[in-house]
Amino acid sequence: MHFRHFYLPCLAHASYLIADGGEAAVVDPQRDVDQYLEAAQDLGVTIKYVIETHLHADFVSGHRELAARRGAEIVFGARANAAFPHRAIHDGDVLRLGGVELRAIETPGHTPESISWLVIENGRPSKLLTGDTLFIGDVGRPDLAGSRGFTSAEMASMLYDSLHEKILTLPGDVEVWPAHGAGSACGRNISSDTSSTIGAQRKTNWALQPMPRQEFVELLTSGLAAPPRYFPLDAELNRMGPRALRDLAVPEIESLDPDALVLDVRDADAFGARHIAGSVNIGLDGNFASWCGTLLPFDTPIVVVADDDAAASQAVMRLARVGIENVAGAITSLDRFATVSLPQRTTHDLDGIAVLDVRRAAEFREGHVTGAQNIPLDELAQRLDEIDRKEPLAVICAGGYRSSIACSLLERAGFTNVINVQGGTEEWMCHSRAATSESSPASMTKDHELPA
């Protein structure tokens, strides 16, 4: 048997190719599917099945395009109610690839239709592809099925049964291969490890420790951050079947539609030096797709500003991965457009300036500039009234990526005196530690504020 693991870091997304006897299945494919076609060609196998463990909310799948390009059959759990031709799978159903069996195990909890796939080689279970049911060190969040008539508590209770009555009954040496790794919004504390075993997870995963159902439900449903707002859109696109990426070609444009949103995907330094007034800066060099899905509209024409055609094409593709398909054009030269700049300062040059920290609240609690105001980036648009528009405002994050996004949003909202802090709190903490080592430990406050 051939088993290949693919990983997309910007979405913390894992997908798989399983092959035997000249036949293959691709599980949870990302939207751009060429890598699976290339892998199948290298192995000399035919892709027979395109399998989805559930209706993914955090990315748009390439299931329809991959199936169309290779004549494969799309496979979903029956409760997904996918609106295109597919095989609807129930608990215990089996797909065969040469001498390998893929056995469906219904594991609702993250979503109602979630299916885990048990890989059986030579009559023995060897691997379990768990989708978003079981992660390494965590389990899937239970609050994404509200639109389908289930409460978070009801889904968490289903997940308790899926884990204890099905997954934990498997042999301890069965390998666990989930659909996401660290950083995914589909869990809260996912490990950076790509795989594990049932036995290891039984010992180390908090959600698999012995506890009453009600305690599990309360732990799983408490303190959940609101899911990114693009999640429902992506889940519905996956249910309906997204169009092919080749249908999303974007032309170079020479003038701007006044109703368009300008998305500048260059890095923070390039944006700071020169950009179109009112543009939003979300650089390709960070968590581009997830921030775009969180912050950008889905019904407004978007014009991409990029360094070159290759970067513009990459931006369009990465936007499509999270369901943003309303790109109307691209700009690769600012020479014919009026531009402005965004002031930049270092962490050592902020005396007397108000500081806005746009990191998550948990990051802020770990250490922050004394007197800084904390508004997480994903809450900024709804909390603009809390910010003083009259005084200069230095915006800081961990390293400068989110702060540049925030500055662009503030400028677009009419703030006229914002400054991006280069280096962010990571640089400031290094400087503060060095200063602290030369003085008394008491120079750091109890809540680890960093002196301005």
Beta bridge partners of 420: 344, 395
Q: How confident is the model at residue 348 (pLDDT cuts 50, 70, 90)?
A: confident
Question: What pLDDT digit, counting tens, does each position of 87-138 carry?
Answer: 999 999 999 999 999 999 999 999 999 999 999 999 999 999 999 999 999 9
Are 160 and 259 within one domain?
no
Are 130 and 254 within one domain?
no
Average pLDDT value over all residues in the chain? 92
Residue 349 near residue 86, CB atoms below 8 Å: no
Question: What pLDDT digit, counting tens, does each position of 184-238 carry?
Answer: 989 988 999 999 999 999 999 999 999 999 999 999 999 888 888 899 999 999 9
| Domain end point (choices 307, 340, 373) | 340
Residue 142 near residue 213, CB atoms below 8 Å: no
Residue 244 lies in a domain: no
352 by Cβ neighbours in 10 Å (0-12 / 13-18 / 19+) ranks as: exposed
Q: 370 lies in which domain range?
A: 344-450
Joined tokens for residue 290: 């997830």
Residue 293 lies in a domain: yes
How remote is the C-alpha of 102 from its chain's centroid? 27
Residue 394 near residue 350, CB atoms below 8 Å: yes
The count of structural domains within the chain is 3
Are 351 and 328 within one domain?
no
| Residue 250 confidence (pLDDT) | 86
Q: Is the pLDDT of residue 301 over 50?
A: yes
Q: How confident is the model at residue 147 (pLDDT cuts 50, 70, 90)?
A: low
Residue 441 lies in a domain: yes
Are 50 and 151 within one domain?
yes
| Domain end point (choices 233, 267, 284) | 233
Joined tokens for residue 185: 């919004």
3-state secondary structure of 40: helix
Strand 302-305, strand 327-331: pairing: parallel
3-state helix, strand, coil in the chain (%, to 5): 35, 25, 40
Q: Is the pLDDT of residue 442 over 90?
A: no
The greatest distance separating any two alpha carbons of the chain, rounded to the nearest whole angstrom, comes to 71
Q: Which residue has the tokens 């540049």?
A: 404
Joined tokens for residue 242: 């997204």
Residue 268 lies in a domain: yes
* Total Cβ atoms within 10 A of residue 390: 7
| Residue 14 confidence (pLDDT) | 98
Q: What is the CATH number of the domain that holds 196?
A: 3.60.15.10
Are 376 and 264 within one domain?
no
> DSSP of 151-189, one letter per residue?
-HHHHHHHHHHIIIIIGGGS-TT-EEEESB-TT-TTSSS
| Domain end point (choices 340, 367, 398) | 340
| Residue 441 confidence (pLDDT) | 37
Residue 77 lies in a domain: yes
The CA distance from 149 to 11, in Å, is 27
Q: What is the CATH number of the domain that holds 382?
A: 3.40.250.10
Residue 377 lies in a domain: yes
Angle between helix 401-412 and helix 288-295 axes, rounded to 10 deg: 30
| Residue 444 confidence (pLDDT) | 32
Residue 70 lies in a domain: yes
Are 348 and 298 within one domain?
no
Are 336 and 348 within one domain?
no
Q: Which residue has the tokens 């051939």?
A: 2
pTM, full prediction: 0.88
56 by Cβ neighbours in 10 Å (0-12 / 13-18 / 19+) ranks as: buried
Residue 241 lies in a domain: no
Are 280 and 361 within one domain?
no
Cα–Cα distance list, 60 to 31, 258, 297, 323, 413 (Å): 6, 29, 16, 6, 30
The CA distance from 30 to 208, in Å, is 29
CA dihedral 314, 380, 219, 115 (to 10 degrees): -30
Are 174 and 280 within one domain?
no
Q: Which of 294, 285, 302 is nearest to 234 (CA)?
A: 294
Are 51 and 117 within one domain?
yes
Are 32 and 163 within one domain?
yes
Are 31 and 101 within one domain?
yes
Q: Which of 84, 78, 86, 32 is nearest to 59 (CA)?
A: 32
| Residue 323 confidence (pLDDT) | 93
Strand 23-27, strand 46-51: pairing: parallel
